[in-house]
Each structure stands twice: as structure tokens, then as C-alpha cells.
């Protein structure tokens, strides 16, 4: 009995300590050219006040536009989006100081990597202009091997403006059960599902199926609910969101909903999409002439109900994130060189301006650890 009580008290103490944690690291990936950014920025973020303090800048890494943190929080992986010379960088990460120490760089095996994901065994990147995805094994010291597998997509679609003249892989994301990898190809109007074998080397990924989306819409990013039952895919060209039921590597469409007014006829350029940590709300950003954040409630059926659309208060809301406390939503604006911090009402999902800003050049990826 005493042992059970001791374990209960330890668990309770741990839970309270986690709930009371107020300081987190916020890492920001950027475009260093053209612009004023110097690399990857690490800030302290206080979720009691939304105050931020710069801790470190990892300089000398070109266009680290997207970042991923290893599950043990000891390593950072970044794409270096530099056209045909693009690479993937591995860094040792000191969470206390925010210091990033370069371990190595490897060829991305495709031009302009725009998304990266990591687990205990591998790093996987989406090469936008190259129309490919590449798998890299992680060494014990956190550095990367050369690519163990490269998959090249070869299709196209109907966009008359030339952005679908070839494949453009835009996102790689593990399913919640970690058995599959979702790959969105904006150029082909297709979402691929690959079987995932973490120790498969050249057969790490094997094709399972492809889902064709509406022609000319450009599937960009996908997100899952915390319980793993539902997924939401946003399309860049028209801002539409498709809701899916998810089970064992299968996506079943249950709804399609827009993110702009019916009479909106200007450029949408949808960008990012996330579900809140409690699974109750979904948020989506549009760039172009919209520069907005839309909020939806997630119904028990997985369908979405529109709540509101607000200005993102900047230009080019390429990426956004919700802080670990759930009290704030931070939006990185590529073209106005700032991060806008919104207060988030946990009960209604609605956003209001906190008045807090982070001045940083071309922020395009925000990651808390």
C-alpha cells in the first residue's frame, strides 16, 4: 500500500510540475536569402506572458526553411532550400542554451526541400522542385547517412499557371500509428500513402495507395486529430479542406469545406493547418491576398464547423503553431518579417491579438520543444 501511495504521489507531482512549466524553447526556421535572417533562431517563450527572449542563432546555414526535432530533443534537422544544390543538415541541440552545433550535411537528392520529419531511426524530406522524397538513416551521434532511398514522382496536373507541370512533393508526415507515411504532391493533385519500415533501408517506404484530389487544387499540408481518428488536408490553390476518417493506413473522405468567402476571387495560397492539442479546434492559414487564419470546431463525427476568419496581421502566414500550454497561436509571416502572437480562447477557439511580436527575417517554420 505504501508503495502504491508513493507512486501515486510521484505521478501527481510530475503532472503538476509539467502543468506549471512556463518556459519553452521556440525554434524558428527562415529564409536567409534574400533578406535579413542569419539562420535558425532559438527563443525562450514564456507562456504566462507570451514574452520571448533570444537565446541563440545558428548562423552559416543557408535557407533553413523547415525544421524537425528528434524525439529525444537532442538533435535538430533542417532542410537547406537552395535549388539544385539543396542539402539536409543535422545539428546537435543543447536545449538549455539553445546552441545548435552542426554535425554534417548531405545531399537532399532533389531541388528545394520544403518539409522534413524525423523519428528514432530516419529523417525524411520532401523535395518540392525535385518532385521527390528522400530517406536518410540517423547514426548514433545524430548525424545523417547519405540517402538510403529516393522516390521520384513523375506526374502532373491541370494548373494553367505552370505550378503543376511536374510533380511537387510538399509534405511528408507519419500517420498517428507510425505505420505509414503520408506524402502530399501538389503538382500531381495526389496524396500518397506509403508503408513504413523504419529499418528497411532501400525499402523503408513501399507504395500502398494514392488518393486523387480535385484537379487543380494542389494538396499541401495534412494534420491529424490527437486521437488519430481524423485527418484534414488543405489545398493550396483554393484553400479547401478535406476531412477524412483515418484507420490503418486508409483515408475515407467525410467532408469538404472552404476557408474563404464565396465571393472571394483573389489569390488564396493556403499554407498551414493544425489541430489544437485538445482536439477541439482546427486552424488554417491563407497567404496570397487573403492573409488570414480560419478557425473551425472539430465535431465528434470529425466534420468541421466554421467559427471565424481573422486577419493574420501580416503578409505571408507561411507557418503557425500553438504553444504547449494551448493559450497562444504564433504565426510566422514570410514577407513582413515577424511572428505575430495571438491569444487563443480554449473554450471558443477564437483568436485575439496579444500585441506581442517577434522581429525576425522571413520566418517560415515555428517549432516548440
Q: Residues 297, 305: contact at Cβ < 8 Å?
A: yes
Q: Residues 111, 83: contact at Cβ < 8 Å?
A: yes
Q: Is residue 50 part of a domain?
A: no
Q: Residues 96, 115: contact at Cβ < 8 Å?
A: no
pTM of the prediction? Answer: 0.94
CA atoms of 337 and 66, how far apart (whole Å): 16
CA atoms of 127 and 132, how far apart (whole Å): 5
Q: Is residue 229 part of a domain?
A: no
Q: Would you tell me how many other CB atoms lie within 10 Å of the CB of residue 118?
A: 22
Residues 6+ away with beta carbon under 8 Å from 293:
283, 284, 285, 309, 310, 311, 312, 317, 320, 329, 331, 342, 351
Q: Is residue 225 part of a domain?
A: no
pLDDT tens track of the chain, all 369 residues?
Answer: 444 444 444 444 444 444 468 999 999 999 999 889 999 999 999 999 999 999 999 999 999 999 999 999 999 999 999 999 999 999 999 999 999 999 999 999 999 999 999 999 999 999 999 999 999 999 999 999 999 999 999 999 998 678 999 999 999 999 999 999 999 999 999 999 999 999 999 999 999 999 999 999 999 999 999 999 999 999 999 999 999 999 999 999 999 999 999 889 999 999 999 999 999 999 999 999 999 999 999 999 999 999 999 999 999 999 999 999 999 999 999 999 999 999 999 999 999 999 999 999 999 999 998
Whole-number pLDDT of residue 20: 61
Opening angle at CA 41, ends 169 and 183, nearest 5? 15
User: In which domain, by residue range, is 73 found?
Assistant: 61-216
Q: Residues 145, 134: contact at Cβ < 8 Å?
A: no
Nearest by Cα to 120 from 180, 68, 70, 181: 70
The CATH number of residue 204's host domain is 2.130.10.10
280: left (phi over 0), alpha (psi -120 to 50) or beta: alpha
Q: Is residue 315 part of a domain?
A: no
> Strand 351-359 relative to strand 338-344: parallel, antiparallel, unpaired?
antiparallel
Nearest by Cα to 75 from 94, 49, 53: 94
Domain count, the chain: 1
Amino acid at each position: 500500500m505504501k508503495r502504491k501511495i508513493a507512486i501515486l504521489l510521484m505521478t501527481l507531482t510530475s503532472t503538476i510540475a509539467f502543468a506549471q512549466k512556463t518556459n519553452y524553447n521556440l525554434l524558428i526556421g527562415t529564409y536567409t536569402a534574400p533578406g535579413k535572417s542569419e539562420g535558425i533562431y532559438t527563443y525562450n517563450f514564456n507562456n504566462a506572458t507570451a514574452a520571448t527572449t533570444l537565446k541563440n542563432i545558428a548562423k552559416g546555414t543557408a535557407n533553413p526553411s523547415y525544421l524537425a526535432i528528434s524525439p529525444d530533443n537532442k538533435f535538430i534537422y533542417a532542410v537547406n532550400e537552395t535549388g539544385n544544390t539543396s542539402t539536409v543538415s543535422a545539428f546537435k541541440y543543447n536545449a538549455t542554451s539553445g546552441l545548435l552545433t552542426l554535425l554534417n550535411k548531405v545531399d537532399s537528392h532533389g531541388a528545394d526541400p520544403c518539409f522534413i520529419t524525423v523519428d528514432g531511426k530516419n529523417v525524411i524530406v520532401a523535395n518540392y522542385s525535385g518532385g521527390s522524397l528522400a530517406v536518410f538513416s540517423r547514426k548514433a551521434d545524430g548525424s545523417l547517412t547519405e540517402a538510403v532511398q529516393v522516390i521520384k514522382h513523375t506526374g502532373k496536373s491541370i494548373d494553367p499557371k505552370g505550378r503543376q507541370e511536374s510533380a511537387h512533393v510538399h509534405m511528408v508526415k507519419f500517420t498517428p500509428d507510425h505505420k505509414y507515411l503520408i506524402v502530399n504532391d501538389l503538382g500531381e493533385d495526389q496524396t500518397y500513402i506509403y508503408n513504413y519500415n523504419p529499418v528497411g533501408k532501400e525499402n523503408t517506404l513501399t507504395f500502398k495507395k494514392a488518393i486523387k484530389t480535385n484537379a487543380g487544387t494542389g494538396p499541401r499540408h495534412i494534420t491529424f486529430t490527437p486521437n488519430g481518428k481524423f485527418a484534414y488536408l488543405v489545398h493550396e490553390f483554393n484553400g479547401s479542406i478535406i476531412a477524412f476518417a483515418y484507420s490503418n493506413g486508409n483515408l475515407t473522405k467525410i467532408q469538404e469545406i472552404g476557408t474563404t468567402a464565396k465571393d472571394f476571387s483573389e489569390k488564396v495560397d493556403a499554407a498551414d493547418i493544425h489541430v489544437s492539442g485538445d482536439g477541439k479546434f482546427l486552424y488554417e492559414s491563407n497567404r496570397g491576398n487573403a492573409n488570414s487564419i480560419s478557425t473551425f470546431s472539430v465535431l465528434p463525427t470529425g466534420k468541421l464547423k466554421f467559427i471565424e476568419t481573422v486577419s493574420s496581421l501580416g503578409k505571408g502566414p507561411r507557418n503557425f503553431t500553438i504553444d504547449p500550454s494551448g493559450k497562444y497561436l504564433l504565426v510566422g509571416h514570410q514577407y513582413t518579417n515577424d511572428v505575430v502572437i495571438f491569444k487563443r480562447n480554449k473554450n471558443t477557439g477564437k483568436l485575439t491579438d496579444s500585441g506581442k511580436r517577434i522581429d525576425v527575417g522571413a520566418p517560415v517554420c515555428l517549432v516548440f520543444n
